[in-house]
Amino acid sequence: MTPATESSATNADRNLALFQRAAKVIPGGVNSPVRAFKAVGGTPRFVSRAQGAYFWDANNKRYIDYIGSWGPMILGHGHPAIVEAVQKAILEGFSFGAPTEREVELAEAILALVPSMDMVRLVSSGTEAGMSAIRLARGATGRSKILKFEGCYHGHADALLVKAGSGLATFGNPTSAGVPPEVVQHTLVLEYNNVEQLEEAFKLHGPELACVMIEPIAGNMNFVRASVPFIKRCSELCTQYGALFVFDEVMTGFRVAPGSAQEVYARSIPGFAPDMTVMGKVIGGGMPLAAFGGKRAVMEHLAPIGSVYQAGTLSGNPVATACGLATLKEIGKPGFYEDLSHKTQSLVSGLTGAAHAAGLEFCGDSEGGMFGFFFFDALPQNYAKVMTTDNKVFNAFFHGMLDRGVYFAPALYEAGFMSAAHTDADIADTVSAAAEVFKML
Ligand SMILES: *Cc1c(COP(=O)(O)O)cnc(C)c1O
């Protein structure tokens, strides 16, 4: 029996068999919760291989991939230049625990594209980068309190697993067991895009704030842009009160524009630049690599020259940096972002047209190779609104698309990702599959 002739029942069984086997040895059967399909129900697909815009599950069923490892695979899977760079690097050695020229090259390449940073330090995950950025902000300012916004995810450092307390005078409550309330007592959580609340919070706590951290285009509540006035006011208040404004661009970095989301905002706010930036995902091209950086005066507080400790056995790993460098080289080619944006826009407008034709409320938005869509008539401005999405409708859409070989994020609060490998035909197939599914909702 060739894989192509296998029945869908057999297909479901192989993924299910793996999931059941996994659940015996890995909590929940997965190494990161969203992979378990808990939000949408059903059996997670176990990926066996990927190429270009597609991956195949344990039964050899093909999917058009719109998660791209949650962002890193901006070139699609198995890009020849990336494969070659990684193979070459592997032959030279996996890890040394001593500095390499490639780390310097990658740091230079990142700084050349994101001029708000004078220096950068490489780490292995976005969580590590975000956690280190906060420690550095606290060390550099000598202040303890930090401000974040509801719906923004900055990794799972203890101080960030927090939801708003009651009222602006109180700080957060933990959202995870194992995080003592004392650990989040310095974290203030505000509503995204709410300028009034922001002003109020600064009046109360401004002089004690080490930093304000934000996902400028939030991809962890589907796709919600911070408004230009909101970013502008955050920046002004940080300057006025001596807090650092930290852009978490782990998802948006090199995903939405060559200069990342800060370039998008600088088009509307002349001279705008965050004080610090956190990067991940695309800069590793699919290998474990992340970074945080900022102005020299801030970054020089880091060990070994400064008093803020931060370290990592595999930081700046030679194979990961080869992968990241090769990725940055490809996305630096002329017209890369124009092509990518055009594809993303055509997907979002195709989906919107098909949904409207089926009489559904629907809207979407995108920037570069990142997109989101909602079963609403207007784009939401904050997390509370995103979470009013009808779960049943979203889940039926997700599974209808999955059955038709299109893999969107298995949760209504996650963004989607286009790659350079997606073709117009892939997008047309996606839209016609969606047109069928929309009619059934
Ligand atoms: C993915 C993500 C993180 C965490 O990165 P990991 O590599 O998963 O630890 C942090 N911030 C944002 C905005 C992200 O999208």
Choice among 65, 248, 275, 426 that is catalytic? 248
pLDDT of residue 198: 98
Residue 137 has pLDDT above 70, yes or no: yes
Mean pLDDT taken over the chain: 95
Q: Are 187 and 148 in contact (CB under 8 A)?
A: yes
Collapse the DSSP code of 187 into the 3-class scheme (helix H, G, I; strand E, B; otherwise coil) and give the result.
Answer: strand
CA atoms within 13 A on the CB side of 345: 9
Residue 2 has pLDDT above 50, yes or no: no
C-alpha–C-alpha distance, residues 285 and 341, integer Å: 19
Residue 434 has pLDDT above 70, yes or no: yes
Split at pLDDT 50, 70, 90, the class of 13 is: confident
Residue 12 has pLDDT above 80, yes or no: no
CA angle 171, 148, 246 (to 5 degrees): 135
Give the dihedral of Cα atoms 94, 78, 280, 275; nearest 10 deg.
110
> Residues 6 or more apart from 83 whose CB is under 8 A from it?
none
Split at pLDDT 50, 70, 90, the class of 303 is: very high
* Long-range Cβ pairs for the range 17-26 (8 Å, 24+): 18/46, 18/58, 19/43, 19/44, 19/46, 22/46
Choice among 148, 281, 343, 385 that is catalytic? 281
Residue range 182-224, pLDDT digits in tens? 999 999 999 999 999 999 999 999 999 999 999 999 999 999 9
- Mean per-residue pLDDT, 96-120: 98
Residue 122 has pLDDT above 80, yes or no: yes
Q: Following DSSP, what letter does each residue of 207-251 receive, concatenated? A: GGEEEEEE-SEESTTSSEEPPHHHHHHHHHHHHHHT-EEEEEETT
**CA 374–ligand 1 middle distance (angstroms):** 22
Roughly how many angstroms between the first and final C-alpha of the chain, as a whole number?
35
Split at pLDDT 50, 70, 90, the class of 11 is: low
> Tokens 């016609």, residue?
432
- What b-and-e string marks burial along 33-50, b requiring 16 or more CB atoms within 10 Å of the CB? ebbbbebbebbbbbbeeb
Ligand 1 interacting residues, C-beta cut-off 6 A: 125-127, 130, 153-155, 215, 219-220, 248, 250-251, 280, 290
Domain 80-331 fold is Aspartate Aminotransferase; domain 2 (3.40.640)
Distances (CA, A) of 268 to 195, 231, 232, 245: 17, 10, 9, 17
- 74, 122, 124, 127, best to mutate for ligand 1 pocket (most atoms within 8 Å of CB): 127
pLDDT of residue 5: 42
Closest CA to 297 of 316, 276, 266, 273: 276
Helix (H) or strand (E) holding 163: strand 162-163
- 35, 217, 281, best to mutate for ligand 1 pocket (most atoms within 8 Å of CB): 281
Neighbours of 142 (CB within 10 A): 8
Residue 373 has pLDDT above 90, yes or no: yes
Q: Relative to the CA of 127, which ligand 1 atom is closest?
A: 9
How, if at all, do strands 290-294 and 224-225 pair?
unpaired
- Kindly give the residue spans of alpha helices, DSSP state H, lying in 65-141: 80-92, 101-113, 126-141
Closest CA to 194 of 152, 237, 226, 238: 226
Neighbours of 440 (CB within 10 A): 9
C-alpha–C-alpha distance, residues 413 and 362, integer Å: 15
> Residues 6 or more apart from 151 whose CB is under 8 A from it?
192, 218, 220, 221, 224, 382, 383, 386, 413
Domain 8-78+334-440 fold is Aspartate Aminotransferase, domain 1 (3.90.1150)
Residue range 321-369, pLDDT digits in tens? 999 999 999 999 999 999 999 999 999 999 999 999 999 999 999 999 9
pLDDT of residue 240: 98
Residue range 248-285, pLDDT digits in tens? 999 999 999 999 999 999 999 999 999 999 999 999 99
Split at pLDDT 50, 70, 90, the class of 10 is: low
Q: Relative to the CA of 215, which ligand 1 atom is closest?
A: 13
pLDDT of residue 165: 80
Q: Relative to the CA of 249, which ligand 1 atom is closest?
A: 13
**CA 31–ligand 1 middle distance (angstroms):** 15
Helices and strands in the chain, H and E counts: 13, 18
Residue 248 annotated among the catalytic residues of the structure: yes
Within the chain, all domains assigned CATH 3.90.1150.10 are found at 8-78+334-440
- Mean per-residue pLDDT, 81-88: 98
- Mean per-residue pLDDT, 390-394: 96
Residue range 143-183, pLDDT digits in tens? 999 999 999 999 999 999 999 887 777 788 999 999 999 99
C-alpha–C-alpha distance, residues 361 and 344, integer Å: 20
Residue 281 annotated among the catalytic residues of the structure: yes
Within the chain, all domains assigned CATH 3.40.640.10 are found at 80-331
- Mean per-residue pLDDT, 47-69: 97
pLDDT of residue 1: 38
pLDDT of residue 192: 98
